[in-house]
Amino acid sequence: MLSVSEALDRAQLMCDAATKAGADAADALYYCNAATSVSMRLGQLEDVERSESQDISLRVFVGQRSASVSTGDMDEGELAKLVDRCVAMAREAPEDIYAGLAPADLLFKGEAPDLDLDDGSEADPQALREAALAAEEAARAIDGVTNSEGGSASHSRTRFALVTSHGFAGGYGSSGHSLSASVIAGEGAAMQRDYGWHSAHHLADLENADEIGARAGMRAVARLNPGKAPGGKVPVILDPRVGSSIVGHLLSAIAGPAVARGTSFLLGKEDQPLFDSSIVIRDEPHRPRGLRSRAFDGEGLPTAARDIVMNGRISGWLLDTASAKQLGLQPTGHASRGGGASGVSASNLHLAPGSVTREALMADIKRGVLVTELIGQGVNPVTGDYSRGASGFLIEDGAIAGPVAEFTVAGNLIDMFAALIPADDLEFRHGTNVPTLRIDGMTVASS
């Protein structure tokens, strides 16, 4: 695997080659990954995988025309052909008045902060095997677990480098560790499955295998013999592992490209209170060891912490350069890059905790549901209409009464945002973290 400086050199060569071939401007993104994963099932080794990949993406601009290409072939001759082909493609592309690199005066400058994303570890297949086995054994030890889909452990190293023809060059490396277990409880048609997992940049931050496995086993057993959910408009409690999707729908609605296209259900509502005034949703790109931490975005602009919701209102759109130009605004440092044009993404997000416990949040619920799994993609980004399959647990007289399955929860995201109440149990485990959430007035229907 290349070092970060070598990755930067490779991206710089591609960028320089593009301008020499006739491009007015260009940027090049280099990404490489080396990963090892081990899977155990029923106590036996099931699979060992080792993968190494590298990819370079080139974007060129000829006037207001642009084209993008990407390849994993690092042969010098093939890369030279790729550059020529990309410039030729750009010359034939339609004009786009919003195309172009990020403004030079806004580019990230200076030394990037150390976000501590790489623990310097190397893959140890034997240690991965032992961790995967321990997670599966802990899950299978739970009374009521009858079968296993396995335990898995993985290790990865990545390198990322971005270079632009107008003066930006930045890169970083990271390590990754993950551990999971998935098991089945019950017999025959009554079987239920569930899982536990965790991932972290540093092995020292990874949750214990016994805890991950035990959680998977207990979740699967708890789902046995589900009944029917109550129908009608009832209070809905969202477990943190599904509640984060609500933040995801908000992000999609405030992403610059959707706003510029006129396909966001929040158009015209940017100045209105959407949530209770106590709700805060924060983007923290510089959090040490954060799963989505980054010092600069996919166009070379600096990132900064930001409350995307404060006092119950959104603080503005999340913009890359193209959508900012379309809207007559400045880019916000939220561009993301893959193999082509930039998109928009946030970094480490969390919804701030409330002031009551999870138990207190549901204490006054006579009859409702706790949702622990959501199924399907039934969300309309233009209208905000929401309808998804779900499973979870019945709430009766403020307490969990038993599992329920095969029901839908429906509403509109505007109404859901307004009704949202957080508990105080926020934990930082994923890229997007939320506490337990309560939303009153959603429509629940059993299949």
> In this structure, how many other beta carbons lie within 10 angstroms of the beta carbon of residue 368?
24
Q: Can you tell me the distance from the alpha carbon of 261 to that of 355, in angstroms, rounded to the nearest whole number?
A: 38
- pLDDT for residue 375 is more than 90: yes
Which residues 6+ apart lie within 8 Å of 367 measured at CB? 230, 234, 394, 395, 396
- Tokens matching residue 73: 């072939």
Q: Which of 199, 314, 204 is nearest to 256 (CA)?
A: 314
Question: Tell me, what's the pLDDT at 339?
Answer: 59
Q: Is the CB of residue 32 less than 8 Å from the CB of residue 43?
A: no
- Tokens matching residue 416: 């859901």
Q: What's the whole-number average pLDDT of the chain?
A: 96
Cα-based angle 125, 34, 57 (whole degrees, multiple of 5): 170
pLDDT in tens, 210-262: 999 999 999 999 999 999 999 999 999 999 999 999 999 999 999 999 999 99
pLDDT in tens, 32-61: 999 999 999 999 999 999 999 999 999 999
pLDDT in tens, 283-331: 999 999 999 999 999 999 999 999 999 999 999 999 999 999 999 999 9
What's the CATH code, domain 4-221? 3.30.2290.10
Q: What is the DSSP secondary structure assignment for residue 105, as one 8-state letter?
A: G
Return the percentage of the chain with pLDDT > 70, whole number: 99
Q: Which of 110, 107, 119 is nearest to 288 (CA)?
A: 119
Question: Tell me, what's the pLDDT at 226?
Answer: 96
Question: Tell me, what's the pLDDT at 341?
Answer: 64
Residue type at position 201:
H
Q: Can you tell me the distance from the alpha carbon of 375 to that of 324, in angstroms, rounded to the nearest whole number?
A: 34
Q: Is the CB of residue 41 less than 8 Å from the CB of residue 129?
A: no
368: phi then psi, degrees, rounded to nearest 5: -165, -165
Q: Is the CB of residue 223 less than 8 Å from the CB of residue 438?
A: no
Give residue 338's pLDDT band: very low, low, confident or very high (50, 70, 90). Answer: confident
> In this structure, how many other beta carbons lie within 10 angstroms of the beta carbon of residue 272?
11
Q: Which of 244, 316, 242, 310 is nearest to 282 (CA)?
A: 310
Q: Is the CB of residue 156 less than 8 Å from the CB of residue 212?
A: no
Residue 246, by phi and psi: left (phi above 0), alpha (psi -120 to 50) or beta? Answer: alpha
- Could you state, in order of their start, the residue ranges of all structural domains in the chain? 4-221, 226-447
Choose the weakest-confidence range: 7-11, 75-79, 410-414: 75-79
